[in-house]
Structure 1
Amino acid sequence: MRLLCIHPENPQARLVKQVVEILKQGGVAILPTDSGYSLCCPLGEKEPLERIRRIRNLEDKHFFTVLCRDLAEAAVYGHINNPAFRFLKAHIPAPLTFILSATKEVPKRLLHPRRKTVGIRIPQSPSMMAILHAFSAPLMSVSVDEFEKTWPLLDPEEIFSKYHKQIDIMVSVGTMTATHTTVIDLINGIPTVIRQGSYSLNG
């Protein structure tokens, strides 16, 4: 139940290491992404996933996003054909969630029950990317977005005050502006906007 203040552009390696140590133990963390603060845990770990569901009071069918370091890692969990690869190379990292057909590496509890798809992100956040690279594996995530009274501003001290008894660690980069990611369906390689968020494909 620690609150670490990390530099948003030049995250301190010693602090990143502390976060990674907790994640490797199956911990639950609140981490900064390019769309606000998110609850995160290791991919495939059932117990921390269920903890996050309880924290956010989420239904079993609520979908989590998989945070990856790069396209090579994303391709382990989602089928990326050539058109999709070219599109992603041109647009990531960005506040973009892309929907792909899931590979067998994706835990069943994260799959869309009918379509067998997965949502993946490669965030445009130096602190988040530093954690992902040090952790050397993807993370599951869901946004901390129920702060209606202060939306779209997210105060890390307010968030920590609410959740500190339910999480293992929180990384603060200061007050953030919460936004929605743009969600793109890339299953067939042709980008289709499912939800328009803060990122525009037209620049």
Structure 2
Amino acid sequence: MQSELKKAIDTLKQGGLILYPTDTVWGIGCDASNPKAIKKVYQLKNRVDSKALICLVADDRMLKKYVKEIPEAARNIIEITNKPTTIIYDDAQNLADNLIASDGTIAIRIPDDDFCYWLCRKFNGAIVSTSANISGQPTPKSFKEIAPEVLKGVDYVVNLHHEKNCAKPSSIIKLSNNGLVKIIRE
């Protein structure tokens, strides 16, 4: 795993795109603070840039770097949830402008996965995580279902867990600082 982490991190630091296994599905990733890399993700996925992307952080300490105020409800959800859950937070900060939604929100997940944890920790920053498909196409459930244009469109493919079938995408919950809670995807 160490050599895969190093290769992935080197690619991220150079502004490249990686294809990597997450706690949910195979993801296309890049440095969440690099607007050029994020633009490449939108181009590869053939996705309109008004549709927000999710990013991963290692833990709640790292989360504080990217969200001005973490609602108490978020801490509770992170602690009690038993399935991958992405939370949309108000008042994003320290991220590329083209990653932050027009209303100032950002979707962030703390993955329960060793590779993702160490990738974020050793990279020391948030990493984009969007499903490894072209927009409008089904999300691949395994590495072998990933479209050739996605495989060719990234700069590095992590050589781990190619045999694993992936779970479904994460749940998404929007938590507003005013206390409003909205389930976006179960």
| Map of 1:165 onto structure 2 | 152
In angstroms, what is the RMSD of aligned CA positions? Answer: 2.4
Q: Number of aligned residue pairs: give it.
A: 182
Which of 18, 26, 29 pairs up with 1:29? 18
Q: Does 1:73 align with 2:32?
A: no
Structure 1 ranges of 4+ moved more than 2 A? 79-82, 91-94, 145-148, 157-165, 174-178, 188-193
CA 190–90 in structure 1, closer or farther in 2 if over 3 Å, else same: farther
Write out per-residue CA displacement over residues 68-127 of structure 1, whole angstroms, 9 at most, x where no aligned residue. 0111111111133452353145236851110111243233222221x2111111111222
Judge conservation of contact 2:140–2:146 (CA < 8 Å) in 1. Answer: no
Which of 2, 15, 18 pairs up with 1:13? 2
Which of 112, 119, 141 pairs up with 2:107? 119
Judge conservation of contact 2:53–2:130 (CA < 8 Å) in 1. Answer: yes
AA aligned opposite 1:164: L
TM-score by length of 2: 0.84
In structure 1, distance between residues paired with 2:74 and 2:166: 29
Write out per-residue CA displacement over residues 158-191 of structure 1, whole angstroms, 9 at most, x where no aligned residue. 4274423211111241232241211112223747
In structure 1, distance between residues paired with 2:70 and 2:177: 8
Q: Secondary structure at the match of 2:51?
A: coil
TM-score by length of 1: 0.78
In structure 1, distance between residues paired with 2:151 and 2:95: 29
Query: Which structure carries more strand by proportion?
Result: 1
1:16 positional shift: 1.4
Q: Secondary structure at the match of 1:55?
A: helix
In structure 2, distance between residues paired with 1:42 and 1:108: 13
Long gaps (5+) in structure 2: none
